Amino acid sequence: VAGNFSYDGTNGPSHWGKEHKMCLGKYQSPIDIEEKDVTTMTFPELQFSGIEGSHKAYMTNNGHTVMIQSFDSNVPSISGGSLNGTYVFQQLHFHWGQNDNLGSEDLINNHSFSMELHVVFWKKEYDSYEEAIKRNDGLTVLGYLYQAMDEPNPIFESIVQQMPDIIGVGSNVTISDNNVLKKLVAPDIASAQNYFTYSGSLTTPPCLEIVQWIDFVKPQHISHEQLAAFRSIQSTDGTNLTHNFRPVQPLDGRTVYRNIAGVES
Ligand code: B30
Ligand code: ZN
């Protein structure tokens, strides 16, 4: 829990730049990805390690999202793709909206999805998260878009069932499902090479411009009811955290790439 930023009023996104100058920078996230403007590219295979097996994980209400971390020695990592080096899992968290028609941070062709999952990794070469965030290639974040539907997604069963335990800011609970991390970090190996990638920032203060974004093209799904559970947690100001997405920021000449998987060699 850091800072007193929020998503409305005098601490809302348009005011973040007063205390955090970098939020006014040129390479901010999220963005609207226009498919007609992307540059196709064949990157080396994006590789996931350490996702097999179970991971003890806990979830926290940090006042601005539901965050999941692991206290397991078997930590997921990723390499390949547009990345230079190996990146180690730090945490994952969610962004959602007041209703199911909005909530994702990144947009595709100006279309909002109902929720977005961010899986945050730091560059192993820098030895710790705290050191990595001082470097311009310190982090990579995987973005998964979720569309609300009638059908529940079994991945969210334990999270939704345990949500009442983290209503208060600062509260946390051990997640009963030890496979939740694996299922959220790499839900669909068949679609894992189909992504957009671009250079951007943290989407919350301090808005550091240190993130290689990897946004998967294929949306995942969640039920309307499961999504509603996320809106039940409290925010720093004591009201319900009904929404926590930052509006899109100017692309300002940046290139967004789309990976077109090559032939395996
Ligand atoms: S995001 O994926 O671009 N939304 C941070 C990491 C990823 C994103 C945004 C922010 C980050 O590291 N923030 C500062 C550290 N935070 C972690 C956090 O997620 O939430 C720790 C903290 O406060 O003390 Cu609030
Ligand atoms: Zn995020």
Ligand 1 pocket mutation, candidates 120, 184, 207, 249, criterion most atoms within 8 A of CB: 120
Ligand 1 pocket mutation, candidates 142, 199, 204, 213, criterion most atoms within 8 A of CB: 204
d(CA 52, CA 60): 23
pLDDT-derived band at 262 (thresholds 50, 70, 90) equals confident
CA distances from 161 to 30, 127, 158, 180 (A): 30, 35, 5, 13
Q: What residues sit around ligand 2, an ion, with C-beta below 5 angstroms?
A: 118
Distance of CA 125 from the midpoint of ligand 2 (Å): 23
d(CA 87, CA 97): 29
98-112 residue pLDDT tens: 999 999 999 999 999
List alpha helices for the chain, DSSP H.
16-19, 129-132, 157-162, 180-185, 224-230
Q: Which residues are catalytic?
A: 64
Which residue's CA is minimally distant from atom 23 of ligand 1?
Answer: 1
Task: Verify whether ligand 1 is closer than 6 Å to residue 202 (CB atom).
Answer: yes
User: Which distant-in-sequence residues (6+ apart) come within 8 Å of 166 by Cβ?
Assistant: 59, 60, 61, 66, 172, 173, 233
d(CA 62, CA 234): 9
Q: How many residues does this entry show for the chain?
A: 265
Q: Which helix (H) or strand (E) holds 92?
A: strand 87-96
Instruction: Show the CA angle centred on residue 30, arms to residues 28 and 32, nearest 5°.
Output: 115
The rounded mean pLDDT for the chain is 96
What does the block give as tokens for 112? 């909002």
Ligand of minimum distance to the alpha carbon of 205: 1
Q: Among residues of the chain, what percentage have pLDDT more than 90? A: 93
- What pLDDT does residue 264 have? 62
Distance of CA 53 from the midpoint of ligand 1 (Å): 26
Q: What is the ipTM of this complex?
A: 0.92
Handedness of CA 251, 9, 225, 60 (dihedral sign): positive
What does the block give as tokens for 256? 């967004």
pLDDT-derived band at 3 (thresholds 50, 70, 90) equals low
Beta bridge partners of residue 111, listed in sequence order:
108
- What pLDDT does residue 263 have? 67
Distance of CA 204 from the midpoint of ligand 1 (Å): 7
Identify which has the larger pLDDT, 36 or 238.
36
Give this prediction's pTM: 0.97
Distance of CA 264 from the midpoint of ligand 2 (Å): 32
Which residue's CA is minimally distant from atom 8 of ligand 1?
Answer: 202
pLDDT-derived band at 47 (thresholds 50, 70, 90) equals very high
Alpha carbon 217 to its chain's center: 14
Q: Can you tell me which atom of ligand 1 is nearest the CA of 2?
A: 23
Contact 170, 236 (CB under 8 A): no
Task: Verify whether ligand 1 is closer than 6 Å to residue 170 (CB atom).
Answer: no
pLDDT exceeds cutoff 50 at 59: yes
115-127 residue pLDDT tens: 999 999 999 999 9
pLDDT exceeds cutoff 60 at 2: no
Q: Can you tell me which atom of ligand 1 is nearest the CA of 91?
A: 19
Distance of CA 205 from the midpoint of ligand 1 (Å): 8
Task: Verify whether ligand 1 is closer than 6 Å to residue 118 (CB atom).
Answer: yes
- What pLDDT does residue 1 have? 46
- What pLDDT does residue 124 have? 98
pLDDT exceeds cutoff 70 at 230: yes
168-198 residue pLDDT tens: 999 999 999 999 999 999 999 999 999 999 9
